[in-house]
Amino acid sequence: MSPNTQEGIVDRELRSPSYLQNGTTIRSWLLTTDHKRIGILYAMSITFFFFLGGIAATLIRLELISPTGLFLTNDEYNRAFTLHGIVMVWFFLVPSIPTTLGNFLLPMMIGAKDVAFPRLNLMSWYLFIAGGLLTVLALIAGGVDTGWTFYTPFSTLYSNSHVLLAAMGVFVVGFSSIATGVNFIATVHLLRAKGMTWMRLPLFGWAMYTTSLVMVLATPVLAMSLLLVVAERAFGLPIFDPRSGGDPLLFQHLFWFYSHPAVYIMVLPAFGVVSEIITCEARRRIFGYQFMVYAMVVIAVIGFMVWGHHMFVSGQSAFASLVFSFLSFVIAVPSAIKVFNWTGTLYRGQIRFSAPMLYALGFIGLFTIGGLTGLFLASIPIDVDLTDTYFVVAHFHYIMVGGSVSAFFGGLHFWWPKITGRMYSERLAQFAAISMFFGFNFTFFPQFIMGWMGMPRRYHLYAPEFQPWHVMSSMGAVVLAFGYAWPVFYLGWSLFKGQRAPDNPWDATGLEWQTRSPPPKENFDRTPVVTDGPYKYHPQDSTPHEVEQAQAPQVP
C-alpha cells in the first residue's frame, strides 16, 4: 500500500492536534463521536469486566484445590461460575477485539475518517454500559446460578436467583453488538478509500467485516430467546414448559443459533489481528491472501449451521446430530487453511520474536490444539462420552482464551504505539507473553486430562483422584493471572513515561501506520489513495532473504 503522502510534508505547526489532545474534558470524551475515542472508552470498560470475570475465575480455581471444597457452598459455586461465564463471554470476549482495536483501526485501515454512523457508534457504548450495569446489579442482588447458558426449564421455572436482571443485561448488550455490527458493515461497504478494493483490504478489515456479519445475524436470535425466557419466568407464559407441550430443546436451538456463531465472533477478529502481526514481524506477504479471505467468509456462513453439536446428548434426533456433526467437521477445513497459511507465511521470512509476535505464535499453537480437540467433540461417539466434562471446558478455553485473548494482547501491544503515541518496554512485554503462554497451558492442559478421565464440569466436590490435576491447574492459573496483570503495570508506565513512538515503529505497511502516532481526529492529514494490495513487505517474486542477498556486498 502506498498512500501518496509524499506530495508534501504538512508543516508541524499547522497540523491539527492528535485525537487525544482534541478536547481534554470528561465531557469531550463522554459525548465524542470519534471512533478512536469510543475505542478507548470500550477498552476501559472491557478491562473492568475482564478483571471482574477474573475475580470469579480466581474464586473457582481456589475452591477446586480441595476435593471437598474450600470455602464456597454449592449455591455460591454455581453463582461464581455463572458470573464468570456471563461476564467473560458477553462483556469481555465478544466485544473485546471488535469494539476496541476494531473501532480504533478499521476506519484507518480502509482510509476513512470515521465509521459510517458515528453517533450510533457512541450509542452502542452507552448500551454496553447499560447492559453492564444491569448485570452488575444482578451480581450485587445475589447473582445468577443457571450457568451462562440460561437453560430452561431451570432458568424459567426453578432457579431462585436473579435470572431476569442478568437476562435483561445480556439482552441490552446484544443490541450494542448489533449496532457495532451494522456500523462496521456499512463502513467497509461505503467508506473504503479510493483504490481500496475488496481484494486489497487488510485481513483485519475482512475479519471485522465477517465478524460484523455474524453479530448482526446471530445476536437478534439470542435477544428473542432471552425475551422468551423473561416471558416465561416473569409472566408465567408457557413457552418452553413441557407440561404445556413446550420443548426445552427449542430454547437450546434458539440459544445455540446465537451462541455457536458467537464463538466465531470471538475468534474471527483474532484471525485478523494475527494475520497483521505475523506478516509484519516475519517481513512476509501473507501466504494465500485470497484463501485467507474465503476461509473467513466460509467460517462466518457455515458457523451458523453447526450449532447442534452442543446438543448431541440432549435428546435431539439422531439425524440432526448426524448433520450437525458432519458440518462441524466441514468447518474445520477453512480453520485449518488459515493455520497452514500462517505457517506458510513464516517460511523464509525474517522473524522478529517481538512481544506481539510471541503472542501471535502462541495463538497459532493454542488455537490448533483447541481446534483439533474440537474435532474430537464434533464426532458423536466421543462427544457422548465427554459432554459436560472438563475436556469441553479445556477445549473452549483453548479457543476463546488461548486463542482470542492471546490475539487481543498481541494486537494491543502491536498497535499500542499507534493508539497512545508511546513505546512500551519490549523485554517486559516478551516476559508477559511467555508467562501467559506457559500459564495458560499449565492451567488448561491438565483439564483435558482430567476431563478425559471423567471429571464433570460445574462440580466443586469431586473424587480425590482428580485432585493433583486440579491443584496443577490452579497453580497454572497463578502464572496466567500474572501474565494478564503484569502488562497493566508496564503499559500503564508507558502511558506516562514511555518513549514517544515514531509514526511507524514496526515498519509496517498498513494504512494506519502511514499517519501520525497518535493520529489526528480525521485520521489522515491527507486522504490516502491506495494503489496496491496489503502486506507489501517484499517484491512479489522474491523473499526478503533473497532481496537481502542480492543487495549484500559480493564477497569474492
Give the interface with other proteins as residue ranges (CB under 8 A).
33, 107, 112-118, 120, 178, 181-183, 185-187, 189-191, 216-221, 223-225, 227-228, 231-232, 235-239, 243-247, 249-250, 253-254, 257, 304-305, 307-308, 315-320, 323-324, 527
CB nearer to other proteins: give 193 or 207: 193
Contact 344, 288 (CB under 8 A): yes
**CA nearest to 361, candidates 296, 425, 410, 417:** 410
**Least distance in angstroms from the C-beta of 112 to other proteins:** 6
Residues 6+ apart with CB under 8 A from 303: 214, 260, 261, 263, 264, 331
**Least distance in angstroms from the C-beta of 83 to other proteins:** 26
Q: What are 194's strand-pairing partners?
A: 529
**Least distance in angstroms from the C-beta of 223 to other proteins:** 6
CB nearer to other proteins: give 250 or 472: 250
Please, what is the Cα angle at 133 between 131 and 137, to 5 degrees? 120
DSSP three-state, residue 414: helix
CB nearer to other proteins: give 189 or 427: 189
CB nearer to other proteins: give 218 or 339: 218
CB nearer to other proteins: give 27 or 243: 243
CB nearer to other proteins: give 29 or 486: 29
Q: Phi then psi for 507, rounded to 5 degrees?
A: 60, 50
CB nearer to other proteins: give 117 or 482: 117
**Least distance in angstroms from the C-beta of 182 to other proteins:** 5
**CA nearest to 400, candidates 57, 34, 35, 9:** 57
CB nearer to other proteins: give 165 or 222: 222
Omega before 153 within 30 of 0, i.e. cis = yes
CA dist., res. 448 & res. 428, Å (int)? 30
C-alpha cell at 112: 476513512
Contact 442, 475 (CB under 8 A): yes
Length, in residues, of the chain: 556
**Least distance in angstroms from the C-beta of 353 to other proteins:** 38
**Least distance in angstroms from the C-beta of 117 to other proteins:** 6
CA dist., res. 62 & res. 72, Å (int)? 10
Q: Secondary structure of the chain: what % helix, strand, coil (to 5)?
A: 70, 0, 30
**Least distance in angstroms from the C-beta of 523 to other proteins:** 10
Q: In Å, how far are 293, 362, 398 from 436, measured between CA atoms?
A: 29, 9, 12
**Least distance in angstroms from the C-beta of 258 to other proteins:** 9
